[in-house]
Amino acid sequence: MQSSQELDLARLAPAYDSILQLVPYQTGKPVEELTREYGVSDVVKLASNENPIGCSPHVTLAITEQLTQLARYPDGNGYYLKQALSDFNNINIDCITLGNGSDDLLDILARSFVGCDDAIVYSQYAFVVYSMLAKIQGATGIEVPAQRFGHDLNAMRQAVLDNTNTKLVFIANPNNPTGTGLESEAIREFIASMPASVLVVLDEAYIEYSPETNNRTLLDEFDNLVIVRTFSKAYGLAGLRIGYALSSAPVADLLNRVRQPFNVSRIGLAAAAAALADQDFIAQTCKVNESQMRWLNKQFDALGLAFVKSHANFIMVEIEDAVAIHQALLEQGVIVRPLIGYGLPNWLRITVGLAEDNTRLIDTLRSILVND
């Protein structure tokens, strides 16, 4: 029905102008879509940094046990999963917030702490959701130039000091899409130099692939640190949407007030607890990733392609005219991620797959480059 007055979205949405600048998040092309569009049936997806092995077999049983209970809401406090995360991370249960994927937690953080007059600081080439959140909140997004594709913490510190309205600093470690990593000591020094009025959000979506890095103990030192993790990557549960944040208890209290009451599903809670308990699966995942990453590095060297050393389960490779190469790969059933949206038109991000996936990628890429 037409209302008598015209709908004025610009007045309705407080951050209207800023939201209009938003480019919707580009997800990796689903396998089904590629099959439909190009008629290729044997598709290899190396575009969303998922775990190519799948997930722990214990997850299936945990999910099956929940199937008779689907009419019932989940435990809104996620008690059992939080208890397991508390034991695993050696942290009080009051310091944990659960999310519908870690994206949900990044969103809850922005909604809790950032208003129109505030600023969010993040690095050039950092995970794109940070700049999107600044736009959604109608806040100022301050993108600090990267240093060798990674975070320049000195420049980020200066940006915070120059912009006293900064509320959040996002640091992705390892970073997506560049795969760069930071030393724990550098992160510690950075947080120590932050005003208490600024929250540092350390996004550790890929931390399982850098087991030598341990920033958890920084939470004992700093009340203004939040660590965000996910079950989507090494744990292989991207389809279920589960993440968590570790923080000081007062910050967690606030985040838990802001989040939706049932933001993690019954199946998600059970699956995450089962996945967390199977650390052998994580060890196996890292082992496969490490050996396949080494193999891919050698192949890129042999093809004369430059790449950025990665601390995660994907790798950024320099290829002239990457958008066209991405398209040619798609047409042959191999999905990777072009990085033009990040201002990197000559780079592709490739998720490390199983040996057969990686062989298919390299063979296809070689044939495209030879025929170019």
Q: Which span sits near ligand PLP by CB under 6 A: 160-168, 230-238, 315-323, 342-350?
A: 230-238
Tell me whether residue 108 or residue 296 sits nearer to ligand PLP (CB atom): 108
List 137, 232, 247, 292, residue binding ligand PLP (CB under 6 A): 232
Tokens found for residue 288:
């496969």
Touching ligand PLP, residues 41-60 (CB under 6 A): 49
Q: Which is nearer to ligand PLP, 137 or 332 (CB)?
A: 137
Q: Which of 243, 268, 333, 353 binds ligand PLP (CB under 6 A)?
A: 243
Based on the shown chain and the rule CB under 6 A, indicate whether residue 107 belongs to the binding site for ligand PLP: no
Strands 166-172 and 199-203: parallel
Distance of closest approach, residue 371 Cβ to ligand PLP, in angstroms: 32
User: Could you say which DSSP state residue 233 is in?
Assistant: S
Whether 230 contacts 102, CB under 8 Å? yes
Give the x-and-dash track for 249-288 against ligand PLP (CB under 6 A): ----------------------------------------
C-beta of 244 vs 362, nearer to ligand PLP: 244
One residue of 15, 238, 254, 286 binding ligand PLP per CB under 6 A: 238
Residue 128 identity: V
The stretch near ligand PLP (CB under 6 A) out of 23-31, 101-109, 252-260, 292-300 is 101-109
Which listed range, 85-93, 99-107, 182-190, 191-199, lies at the site for ligand PLP (CB under 6 A)?
99-107
Residue 77, CA atoms < 13 Å, CB-side half-sphere: 7
Least Å from the CB of residue 163 to ligand PLP: 23
Choose between 107 and 118: whose C-beta lies nearer to ligand PLP. 107
With beta carbons less than 8 A apart as the criterion, state whether 95 and 252 touch.
yes
Instruction: Give the residue at shortest CB distance from ligand PLP.
Output: 101
Q: Which is nearer to ligand PLP, 132 or 160 (CB)?
A: 132
Count of CB atoms situated within 10 Å of the CB of 359: 15
Distance of CA 327 to CAs 36, 330, 331, 336, Å?
Answer: 15, 5, 6, 9
Residue 202 interacting with ligand PLP (CB under 6 A): no
User: Any contact of residue 103 with ligand PLP (CB under 6 A)?
Assistant: yes
Instruction: Kindly state whether residue 101 participates in binding ligand PLP, applying the rule CB under 6 A.
Output: yes
In the complex, the smallest distance separating the C-beta of residue 110 from ligand PLP, rounded to whole angstroms, is 13
Smallest gap from Cβ 243 to ligand PLP, in A, equals 4
H-assigned helices in the chain: 9-12, 16-20, 31-38, 57-66, 79-89, 102-113, 129-137, 153-162, 184-192, 218-221, 249-258, 266-277, 279-302, 322-331, 355-371
Classify residue 342 by its DSSP letter. G
How far is the C-alpha of 236 from the C-alpha of 230, rounded, in Å?
A: 10
Q: Which of 280, 157, 274, 371 is nearest to 171 (CA)?
A: 157
Query: In degrees, to the nearest 5, what angle opens at C-alpha 339 toward C-alphas 350 and 229?
Result: 65
Yes or no: say if 105 and 255 are a contact pair by the CB < 8 Å rule.
yes
Which residue from 50, 107, 118, 203 is in contact with ligand PLP, where contact means CB under 6 A? 203
Across-strand partners of 145? none
Q: Which of 34, 168, 187, 205 binds ligand PLP (CB under 6 A)?
A: 205
Query: Which of residues 49 and 51 has its CB atom nearest to ligand PLP in the complex?
Result: 49
**Per CB under 6 A, which of residues 117..176 are in contact with ligand PLP?**
127, 172, 176
Q: What does the angle CA 249 – CA 250 – CA 251 come to, to the nearest 5 degrees?
A: 90
Q: Which residues bind ligand PLP (CB under 6 A)?
A: 49, 101-103, 127, 172, 176, 203, 205, 230, 232, 238, 243
